[in-house]
Amino acid sequence: MEMKPLEVFEIEVLDEEYGGNKYKEIIADILQDLGLIRSIGKLYVYADMESAFFAVFGLIRGKLPPLRVRDVGDLIQAEGGYQIVVEDEEHMSDLLKVLWETYGRDKVEQPDRVVLTIESSTSPEDLVVADLETEFRRDLVDALIRIAPEGFRNRRNIMKKDHFFFLAAEETIDPALIAEVEEKFRSMQNA
Amino acid sequence: MLEPVMFTGGVYKHDLVIELVEDLGGYLLQKNITQSEVILLMLIPREDMQIMEDMTKALMGKLDRAPLAGTETAVVTPTLAIHHLPHPACDVAEYLRRHGSKSNMIGMARGVGRDIAQMTGYETALINEHDAVVFTFGNFKKCILKKEHLYRNIEIPVIITGGPDMEQGDLPYAAEYVSNIGRIAHRSRKATEIESLDNIVDAVGRSLDMTREEIAKDPLTTIPPRAMEVIREQVPDINQSYAPLPITLNLKGLRIKLPYDQYQEAVKAVTFDEGVTLGEIAKVMPSRMKNYILVRISPTSVTGFVV
């Protein structure tokens, strides 16, 4: 099922309407900062300040394909090898690392900030530069920890292929709490 | 009556302003040079304000009233983690600084959580060395109410900031509550956010005025800026201090940023023109902030005279 980026974003904080609306802004700001909005389809947040817990349930939009050399810049076949003109500098260090590993340091040169030359007859086109899926999951956990109130230090975090569940509480997390939160998320999704 | 003002202008000929302050019998509290601009915080006799305004005009500078000048305000966050910093605590601190106050940021060691938040005796004592304190709390009403025990033992005026609208009566231990400035994850730039910052400055100003009124009922033996001038002359090592504000003024005294053990005798021996020493009219004690020296000037009712 194809989802739009953040097509559903619901938040419910018991007896704290203002806090709920404000947290919606905070979550949007943090997801924006870490560049995660496009990868999340639906997001449900449920919190209660009386029993001091904060829970997030989200659906992930499809799997991100690994980033290959052809995705980060233009590849040109030149005399004695290949030239890459990098468009997205974000992954420059990863790119250099993978090229060094594959061809050796003496075969790779960087005559200009965004230009790389490789002395080899084999094309680097299909080399994997970065595993975006792993990066996304790492950033997502970071975002969730940043979003949840800092004092809620007992955390339960479940990351699955297509969804994630995060629960942070001040007291010990017991199965009854998890069941309550899961039930709430089910009803939020069905509403 | 001395009026706190801030001069902002070019570095060129700003010495003339400093000379004029001395000639008028005012005090220079702070001088900040940032590349080609200079910011001077001063106390000027109210009746001579026109002369200073004329001088400012001649130098193409700007003269503003700085109601918080000569005071020190603490901005307290539950911790120093990314949840609370840099927004909005730094915005609050910066805004207070712009209005003339010396603002210090304090992150509590265990201030997080609703039930588990704690405050140590050291933190309370450190905050009590300031003239006012701003606690930056979050967006949930229940948490703000619950965290009252953090500031119950604080003796200086406490200003609480938080998101939701609340009645003053809900927080009996706070001097003021400023709403609409809870946890945010972006820099304050919207008109409503700036307005909230203005509200904090107003609230701090009102609280400080109350303290000033209280002091006026039993005035200090000497005013802190005068003590500062004398210390600068007689303890020249203060000019070698690398602290941003080597002598910080409080309403009831000052903090000297020199090691206590080494300099306490020299500070106590500082003598005024009238012949009394600072040790006779003030308590000189170690500050909780690093190993600085804290001076608390005794009121007239204790010493029986004014210098």
The pLDDT tens digits for A88-111 are 888 899 999 999 999 999 999 999
Together in a domain, A169 and A92: no
Do B88 and B76 touch, CB atoms closer than 8 A? no
Q: Give the domain-ending residue among A88, A107, A130.
A: A130
Q: Which CATH class is domain B2-65?
A: alpha beta
Do B139 and A15 make contact, defined as CB atoms within 8 angstroms?
A: no
Percent of chain A whose pLDDT exceeds 90: 66
pLDDT tops 90 at residue A23: yes
Please tell me the CATH superfamily of domain B72-215, with its number. Answer: Cobalamin-binding domain (3.40.50.280)
A14, A23, A152: best to mutate for the B interface, most B CBs within 10 A: A23
Nearest-5° angle of CA A45, CA A172, CA A54? 10
Chain B residues with CB under 8 Å of A22 CB are 139, 163, 182-184
What is the span of the domain harbouring residue A150? Answer: 8-63+132-190
Together in a domain, A124 and A144: no
pLDDT tops 90 at residue B6: yes
Q: Of B241, B227, B296, B235, which is closest to residue B265 (Cα–Cα)? A: B235
Min Cα distance A173 → chain B (Å) is 15
Using one digit for the tens of pLDDT, what is the confidence trace for B149-184? 999 999 999 999 999 999 888 999 999 999 998 888
Together in a domain, A137 and A59: yes
Q: Of B71, B237, B232, B255, which is closest to residue B157 (Cα–Cα)? A: B71
B116, B139, B166, B184: best to mutate for the A interface, most A CBs within 10 A: B139
Q: CA A79, CA A119: separation in Å to the nearest integer?
A: 9
On whether residue A71 sits in a domain, the answer given is yes
Together in a domain, A117 and A151: no
Together in a domain, A53 and A82: no
pLDDT tops 70 at residue A11: yes
Which residues have CB under 8 Å from B195's CB, separation 6+?
Answer: none
pLDDT of residue B76: 96
pLDDT tops 70 at residue B257: yes
- The answer to whether A146 contacts chain B (CB < 8 Å) is yes
Same fold, B2-65 and B72-215: no
On whether residue A56 sits in a domain, the answer given is yes
The average confidence (pLDDT) of chain B is 92
Q: CA A174, CA A158: separation in Å to the nearest integer?
A: 15
On whether residue A2 sits in a domain, the answer given is no
Together in a domain, A111 and A29: no
Percent of chain B whose pLDDT exceeds 70: 100
Helix axes A132-147, A17-33, angle to 10 degrees: 150
Residue of A nearest to B113 (CA): A151
- Token pair, residue A142, equals 């970071």
Q: CA B204, CA B233: separation in Å to the nearest integer?
A: 32
Q: CA B292, CA B241: separation in Å to the nearest integer?
A: 11
Do A151 and B78 make contact, defined as CB atoms within 8 angstroms?
A: yes
Together in a domain, A52 and A79: no
> At A164, which CATH number?
3.30.565
On whether residue A104 sits in a domain, the answer given is yes
Together in a domain, A48 and A83: no
pLDDT tops 80 at residue A1: no
Q: CA A166, CA A145: separation in Å to the nearest integer?
A: 9
Domain ranges of chain B: 2-65, 72-215, 224-303
Together in a domain, A178 and A97: no
Domain tally, chain A:
2
Min Cα distance A98 → chain B (Å) is 33
Strands B158-161 and B176-178: parallel
pLDDT of residue B227: 95
On whether residue A36 sits in a domain, the answer given is yes
pLDDT of residue B7: 94
Q: Give the domain-ending residue among A130, A145, A167.
A: A130
Q: Of B304, B116, B23, B10, which is closest to residue A151 (Cα–Cα)? A: B116
Whether the CA torsion B17, B91, B114, B139 is positive or negative: it is positive
Do B78 and A150 make contact, defined as CB atoms within 8 angstroms?
A: yes
- The answer to whether B114 contacts chain A (CB < 8 Å) is yes
Together in a domain, A83 and A57: no
| Confidence band for A161, pLDDT divided at 50, 70 and 90 | confident
Within 10 angstroms of residue B87's Cβ, the number of other Cβ atoms is 19
pLDDT tops 80 at residue B1: no
The edge-to-edge listing of strands for the beta sheet with A163-169 is A8-13, A40-48, A53-60, A163-169, A154-159
Helices (H), A104-158: 132-147
Write down the residue that tokens 């709403």 correspond to.
B179
Do B221 and B306 touch, CB atoms closer than 8 A? yes
pLDDT of residue A55: 96
Burial of A8 from C-beta contacts in 10 A (0-12 / 13-18 / 19+): middle
Together in a domain, A33 and A13: yes
Residue of A nearest to B184 (CA): A26
Q: CA B225, CA A54: separation in Å to the nearest integer?
A: 50
Percent of chain B whose pLDDT exceeds 90: 77
Together in a domain, A106 and A123: yes
On whether residue A110 sits in a domain, the answer given is yes
Q: Of A189, A169, A191, which is closest to residue A43 (Cα–Cα)? A: A189
On whether residue A78 sits in a domain, the answer given is yes
pLDDT of residue B2: 85
Do A151 and B113 make contact, defined as CB atoms within 8 angstroms?
A: yes
pLDDT tops 70 at residue B299: yes
**What is the complex's ipTM, to 2 decimals?**
0.79
pLDDT tops 90 at residue A42: yes
Which residues have CB under 8 Å from B35's CB, separation 6+?
Answer: none
On whether residue A99 sits in a domain, the answer given is yes
Chain B residues with CB under 8 Å of A19 CB are 138-141, 163-164, 182
Min Cα distance B99 → chain A (Å) is 28
- Long-range CB contacts (within 8 A, 24+) of B140-146: B140/A13, B140/A16, B140/A19, B140/A49, B140/A149, B140/B164, B141/A16, B141/A18, B141/A19, B141/B166, B142/A15, B142/A16, B142/A49, B142/A50, B142/B114, B143/A49, B143/A149, B143/B114, B144/B171, B145/B170, B145/B171, B146/B114, B146/B115, B146/B117
Using one digit for the tens of pLDDT, what is the confidence trace for B208-218? 989 999 999 99
| CA-derived radius of gyration, chain B | 20
